[in-house]
Structure 1
Amino acid sequence: MSGRLLLLVESNTTGTGRLFARRAVELGVVPVLLCADPDRYPYAAEDGLRTVVTDTADPDRLAATAERLAADTPVAGVLTSSEYYVPAAAALAARLGLPGPSADAVRACRDKAEQRRTLAAAGVGVPTFAVVSTPAAARSAAAHRMPVVVKPSQGSGSLGVRLCADLDEVEAHTRTLLAAGVNERGVAVPGRVLVEEYLTGAEYSVEVFGTEAVVTVAKHVGPLPSFVEVGHDLPAALPAEVERELGRTAVRAVTALGLGWGAAHVELRLDGASAKVIEVNPRLAGGMIPELVRRACGADLVRAQVLAALGRPAHPEHTGRGRASIRFLTTDRDGVLAPDLTGALARARAVPGVAEAVLYRSPGEPVGPAADFRGRLGHVIAVADRAAAAADAAELAVAELAGAITPTATDREEALT
């Protein structure tokens, strides 16, 4: 190992955050997690990941911490796997003269209102939308286009995204969003809300690296009015012309936003024969999608992102032709996890084709319906040579995991009436 450092500015609490650190070690550099609260990251202690506490919301303090570390050991790169800290990581990389995306482009991209305006001006298809700052303005914007999606102008993981069926609901949800001065990480958020057209076409994501579409992913979304992602299949089984349309639109969006360095996760919906961009995220996908890509296609997007941060050639290439699916465990009612989860996990892992089955919660823990990604209770990943086989295995295995949830007494009584 070279001793050079890869600085990780905060992280995902699960999934790719841990993988970033592991790939750094494999590539011969020392990962260092810069964070405000190490307790958010149990994997750091489990993996022996070096952690330095600093104020990651303050650019000057973050830079001072990085410069102090660099005085002792050369810093080779800066990255983050967290949506909320991509601008901070990009700005820090630029300050240290290291590779990274344009900090200004990333900052603008993270503001969904600014992103929408930029894409619309470039002729990239987006839903019709309005940016509002009061409940009354939201009501007015929605008056002639119900139902509508109301969402915060900054956010991740479907947090605060809701399909509103009537004007009173639009006004009430807007009021709730505007009342939140900070997000779940404690980072200040602007007092703006998007009111946008609800597209009913199938939803996909395109994983872009640089300006190349790597793979198209079919999304599964849970019950409305929330938009919780409950599964992904890749590569998506699509006619060639539809896949080209999705890929072409995703790359046009990335280019219009001034991105094109490293990974971007572009979410789209079909609107007739056209693809419209729901949002562009200037980072790797969440939801374990990079792991699905690695298992199905052989392209390691996490490794490629680390290589890019280190200034090394990074070209994720397909080396396989498999299919992979993930299904997340959610519940539609209040309940509690069984005191012993080993049986449910064993049954899920025994399903042919299942490569991984994980529960995120502890035995005996109360659970309830998911309003966003935080309500997901676990996942299974299945791999096969056919799309249908991978999806079927994942569905069967997640049903086995669901056996670990016992409804509360009230819910059992309602189910019997």
Structure 2
Amino acid sequence: MSAREPHDAGNGPRPDGPWFAFLESNTTGTGRAFCAAARARGMRPVLLTRDPGRYPYAAEDGLDVRVLDSADPDAVLDCCARLAADGAGLAGVASSSEYFVAAAARAAAALGLPAADGDAVARCRDKERQRTALAAAGVPVPAFTAASDAAGAVRAADAIGHPVVLKPVSGSGSVGVRLCRDRDETLAWAERLLDRGADERGHPVAARVLVEAAVAGPEFSVETFDDRVVAVVAKHTGAPPYFVETGHDIPAPLPRRDADALAATALAALAALGLGWGAAHTELRLTAAGPVVIEVNPRLAGGMIPVALRAALGTDLVDTVIARSAGLPAPQPTAGAGHAAVRFLSAGREGHVTGITGLTDAEASPGVVAVTAGTAKGRTVRITHSFQDRLACVVATGADAAQAARRAADAARLVRVELEDPAAPGEGVGGR
């Protein structure tokens, strides 16, 4: 799974402190690190999930697991209540998955544990409601309209003006997000999105899409905790018409005035949405007229951003989230390298994984602090034009942004994922 983890995986003695419940998890990036951080604080992490097979690290790290219908709020609350009634008690409930943060917050609040406002989180996850609240508060957002049929999406795009961006009203990781340059592309993509009965987690999805103006300008994210800006991050994405993230630079190499403007806009967005408890990840574009909010995510960033942020600035947001959710003091920042970069190895085609090489070489490269594989031998790679296309990730530090980026990219090129299909046996993704 990983050549080097950002936290000790926790295979030592099992703690005997209170339980800490994780409602599902993200399947890439820092999901494993959350459990390790709880264990390091003497708590007993327990994963509440419908499908333990999604998380190979659970068995590898000896995590306690409770199998339940994680989409059923009553089942989640009942499980958490039973953990709370256990002799050790329950210290907190959290989720590192976009799809479960609201449910985790509501379960924690129902049990009197520290939590964000679950209703505010749920409203934020609906992109149409989020856009409406931001626009009403005067926070700059793209022009937008929601549509429930393909013809309505085309009419909305005509009114806004092509090109437009189409996306599901709820989702994560760029799933279903596409730039549509004309009416034909808009119609075809709207039909495809509206034909989906469920998301990638198997949950039913609303038959609505968001049509919004395509905003020109480089993309950034602002990482916050409560009402404090922790970092402004530069984001790299793949070629249009999709928006798959290919890397991040921390801190973003920007003039101070631009970084301050992005930070101020992100804080205004949080206030407009009634957020501001715990971690949030706000994505923006910096246009000629100033920052425009693309979306606010009421959770800690994915994409290994927390790992890079800790390496660059010495702030451990994973442990900070655990501490807040358990009502414990936050960790003190440590010395950081100053700059860090994340670079991903993305799939160029589909196929069956027959092997992964180069992880050890990448790990040993200058400045590298984390190397992870997002797939494994025996799995099938599909092109989804989302975060699921990322096969491996490298985080590296440097004396400046350029050095960190170069080190991460060079190390990522050492990783090779061998794919095989009937048409091209033995072909690899990555390599020199």
Judging changes above 3 Å, is the alpha-carbon distance between structure 1 residues 68 and 362 closer, same or farther for their aligned structure 2 residues? closer
Deviates more, 1:134-143 or 1:70-79: 70-79
**Identity rate, percent:** 50
Which residue of the partner structure matches residue 39 of structure 1?
53
SS in structure 2 at match of 1:183: coil
Paired residues, what number?
A: 410
Task: Name the stretch that deviates more: 173-182 or 313-322.
Answer: 313-322
Partner of 2:65: 51
Q: Which residue of 2 aligns with 1:15?
A: 29
Residue 326 of structure 1 aligns to a residue whose secondary structure is strand
Out of 246-255 and 312-321, give the one that drifted further. 312-321
* Alignment counterpart, residue 248 of structure 1, candidates 256, 260, 264: 264
When residues 176 and 5 of structure 1 are mapped into structure 2, their CA distance, relative to the original with a 3 A threshold, is: same
Secondary structure in 1 aligned to 2:138?
A: coil
Most deviating of 47-56 and 360-369:
360-369
In structure 2, what is the Cα distance between the partners aligned to 1:315 and 1:403?
37
Residue 191 in structure 1 maps to residue 213 in structure 2: no
1:320 aligns with 2:336: yes
**1:260 alignment counterpart:** 276
4+ residue stretches of structure 1 with deviation over 6 A? none
Aligned to 2:108: 93
1:105: Cα distance to partner? 0.3
Q: Secondary structure at the match of 2:99?
A: helix
Give me the whole-angstrom Cα distance separating, in 2, the residues matched to 1:37 and 1:129: 36
CA distance in 1, matches of 2:68, 2:349: 40
1:360 to 374, 380, 387: 374
Q: Contact conserved, 2:237 with 2:247, CA < 8 A, in 1?
A: yes
Are positions 1:229 and 2:234 aligned together? no
CA distance, structure 2, for counterparts of residue 19 and residue 361 of structure 1? 17
Change (3 A) 1:403 1:283: closer
- Which residue is 1:78 aligned to? 93
**Partner AA of 1:141 in structure 2:** A
Matches of 2:380 and 2:216 in 1, distance apart?
A: 33
| Residue in 2 that maps onto 1:3 | 17
2:117 to 93, 102, 105: 102
Pair 1:357–1:317, CA change in 2 (3 A): closer
Moved more, 349-358 or 96-105: 349-358
Paired residue for 2:229? Answer: 213
| 1:53 CA displacement | 1.0
The unaligned stretches of length 5 or more in structure 2 are 1-14, 428-432
Give the residue type in structure 1 aligned to 2:233.
V
- CA distance in 2 between partners of 1:257 and 1:10 (Å): 25
Deviation of 1:313 (Å): 3.3
Query: Which AA in structure 2 matches 1:109?
Result: C
Taking the aligned partners of 1:403 and 1:188, their CA distance within structure 2 comes to 33
Classify 1:204/1:262 alpha carbon distance in 2 versus 1 (closer, same or farther; 3 Å): same
- Per mean C-alpha deviation after superposition, the further-off stretch among 239-248 and 384-393 is 384-393
Q: 1:149–1:162: 8 Å Cα contact kept in structure 2?
A: yes
Q: Match for residue 7 of structure 2?
A: none
Residue 253 of structure 1 aligns to which amino acid in structure 2? A
Aligned-pair CA distance for 1:166: 1.3
> 2:362 is matched with which residue?
348
Residue 404 of structure 1: how far off its partner (Å) = 5.3
Report the 3-state secondary structure (helix = DSSP H, G, I; strand = E; otherwise coil) of the residue aligned with 1:83.
coil
In the other structure, the counterpart of 1:69 is: 83
1:355-382 superposed Cα distances (whole Å, 9 cap, x missing partner):
2333333347664655111111111111
**Native 8 Å contact 1:202 1:269 kept in 2:** yes
Query: Offset of 1:288 from its aligned partner?
Result: 0.6
Query: Unmatched 5+ residue regions in structure 1?
Result: 413-417
Q: What secondary structure sits across from 1:357 in the alignment?
A: strand
Q: Deviations over 1:92-121 (max 9, x none)?
A: 011101111001100100000000000000
Structure with bigger helix share is 1
* Deviation of the 1:165 alpha carbon: 1.4
Shift in alpha-carbon separation, 1:350–1:24, aligned structure 2, 3 A = closer
Post-superposition offset of 1:315: 6.9
CA distance in 2, matches of 1:366, 1:67: 38
CA deviation string 1:325-384 (max 9, x = no partner):
1111014345665x5533x33443343222233333334766465511111111111111
Check whether the contact 1:325–1:390 (CA below 8 A) recurs between aligned residues: yes
Quote the residue 1:147 is aligned against: 163
Contact 1:331 1:370 in 2 (8 A): no
| 1:134 corresponds to 2:146 | no
* SS of aligned partner of 1:143: helix
Task: Indicate conservation of the 8 Å contact 1:327/1:381, yes or no.
Answer: yes
Counterparts of 1:278 and 1:159 in 2: how far apart (Å)? 15
User: What's the CA shift string for 1:115-165, capped at 9, x where partnerless?
Assistant: 000000011111111111111110001114101100000000000000111
Distance 2:339 2:42 in 1: 31
Separation in structure 2 between the aligned mates of residue 36 and residue 278 of structure 1, nearest angstrom: 31
- For the pair 1:393 / 2:407, whether they are aligned, the reply is yes
Once structures 1 and 2 are overlaid, which stretch shifts more, 395-404 or 32-41?
395-404
> Structure 2-normalised TM-score?
0.90
1:295 maps to 2:311:
yes
Q: CA deviation at 1:85?
A: 0.3
For 2:173 and 2:184, locate their aligned partners in 1 and report how far apart those are by CA, in whole Å.
25
Query: Which secondary structure state, in structure 2, belongs to the residue aligned with residue 172 of structure 1?
Result: helix
CA distance in 1: counterparts of 2:252 and 2:41, whole angstroms:
31
Against the structure 1 CA distance between its residues 410 and 48, is the aligned structure 2 distance closer, same or farther, given a 3 Å change threshold?
closer
Q: Alignment partner of 1:39: what SS?
A: helix
Please report how far the alpha carbon of residue 68 of structure 1 lies from its aligned counterpart in structure 2 after TM superposition: 1.8
User: Hey, what does 1:111 align to over in structure 2?
Assistant: 126
Aligned counterpart, 2:38 = 24
| TM-score scaled by length of structure 1 | 0.93
Q: Distance in 2 between matches of 1:366 and 1:57?
A: 26
Looking at structure 2, the residues matched to 388 and 129 of structure 1 have their Cα atoms a distance apart, in angstroms, of 36
For 1:28, the aligned partner's letter is G
